[in-house]
A and B are shown apart, each in its own frame.
Chain A
Amino acid sequence: MSTITRTWKVNGKPIKVRAPAGRRLLDYLRDDLGLIGAKEGCGEGECGACTVLIDNEPMVSCIVPVGQLADGTEILTIEGVEKKRAGRLLQQAYLECGAVQCGFCIPGMIISSYALLPKNPKPPTQAIRPPLSGNLCRCTG
């Protein structure tokens, strides 16, 4: 085991990280920081329920070892996204469209949607599919 110390920004707040280098980011967020919005569906990178933004890019936190995230890394989880205007609008839109059933996949879905908007502010349906294709919903199939 090797222990790392790092300084990151998580949801805008500076955080001092001390953890085993191989700890999964998902575990660090949920168990050490209490940010339980990111969910563990598969633990193997397939389902997208654990998606968070790392330096603005969506990544699956269940297969990222914390040691690989350098000082200064910015992480945004659903708890941070829901405080942003675009995040709130997305949550509302998901509700109004009846997109939510059990809700387990939704934090990941919203993060991937949120990441798409700066690149493509008014995406047509066809442009939404590829960036959301790494998020699986068990309820809708």
Chain B
Amino acid sequence: MKTTEKINIRFPQTLAEALRLQARKNTRGTLLAGGTDLMVQWASGTPPPARATSLWNLPELCEIEVRDDDILIGAGVTHAFLGEAKPIHRHLPALIAAAATVGAIQIQARGTLGGNAANASPAGDTAPALLITGGDVLLASLDGTREVPLDEFWTGYRQIAARPDEIILAFRLPKKGSAKERFRKIGARKAQAISKIMAASRIRVRSGRILSAAIALGSVAPTPIRLTQVEALLTGQALTPSLVAQAEKLAQTSVKPIADIRSSAEYRRWVAGRLVRDALENL
């Protein structure tokens, strides 16, 4: 018998039912969405839990709502579904590009946005694209729903701000408006590769001056991060080659990546700067 067969998996039909299960310690289970992280972890040696609560196809988690200034995307929305949700593409192009680089189509058909965020890997591809929107995560529990700014959501290596009784309900993501977005992933090959490093940016320029800049990187720190020092340097300045060079340098000196099986610290530091340059040269 395979290890996952021992798990007692519950299949709530509504969010309310799932929240009730998660509220009590003796019915709470590991939240299981598309399983593309969890099933792999359980197959490769992580002991499976006694209980799991399946969120797959839970209707309340699968909705996308376009509003005047922002878009609500349910945590259960898959990467494939984001690709098909054409009306939101022009408002959140970096996120759409990021979702399209997750694994390959078989993985995109099952992997969810909520799972990618909650898995909290520094190499999670959608995280930088979420961060640059300046939006929030909606966390649901029996006590109600609360909003946590994405900036405060990833609290440490593989740690998130959700309590054990909470379920990520959705992401509230401000539209980009007149800003320009970009997403670049650097991996060993185009498909089925975990990022060595990736960057997302949302930058607004008017008459050659940078009005606002949000730049986020993944795989250079224990959590996905915003490059706040680089953003501060850029904001309000005229977009000149010397500013671009300064921003590239500052990005390289302000990140503290580690070396691992995918890449070296030096490579990541160097590429962090090049990715900032790439964002600024493509405005």
Contact = CB atoms under 8 A, between A and B. Distances in A.
Contacts of B6: 1, 20, 22
B50 to A, nearest CB: 10
22 contacts: A1-B5, A4-B11, A22-B4, A22-B5, A22-B6, A24-B4, A24-B39, A44-B40, A45-B40, A45-B106, A48-B106, A57-B109, A63-B36, A64-B35, A65-B4, A65-B32, A65-B39, A68-B11, A68-B35, A112-B106, A134-B103, A134-B192
A57 B104 CA distance: 12
Contacts of A2: 7-10
B44 A44 contact: yes
A119 to B, nearest CB: 11
A4 B109 CA distance: 23
Contacts of B44: 44
B106 A67 contact: no
Contacts of A74: none
Interface string A35-57: 00000000111101001001001
A23 B105 contact: no
A60 B106 contact: yes
A54 B34 CA distance: 13
Interface of B: 1-2, 4-11, 32, 35-36, 39-40, 43-44, 48, 52, 54, 56-57, 80, 103-107, 109-110, 190-192
A107 interface: no
A106 interface: no
A131 interface: yes
Interface residues of A, number: 34
Nearest to A1: B6
A62 B57 CA distance: 19
Contacts of A136: 192
Nearest to A115: B105
Contact of A43 (B43, B57, B105): B43
A93 to B, nearest CB: 20
Given A133-B190, A133-B191, A64 B5 contact: no
Question: Taking each of B39, B44, B80, B190, which has the highest tally of chain A beta carbons within 10 Å of its own beta carbon?
Answer: B39
A85 B36 CA distance: 32
A23 B1 CA distance: 9
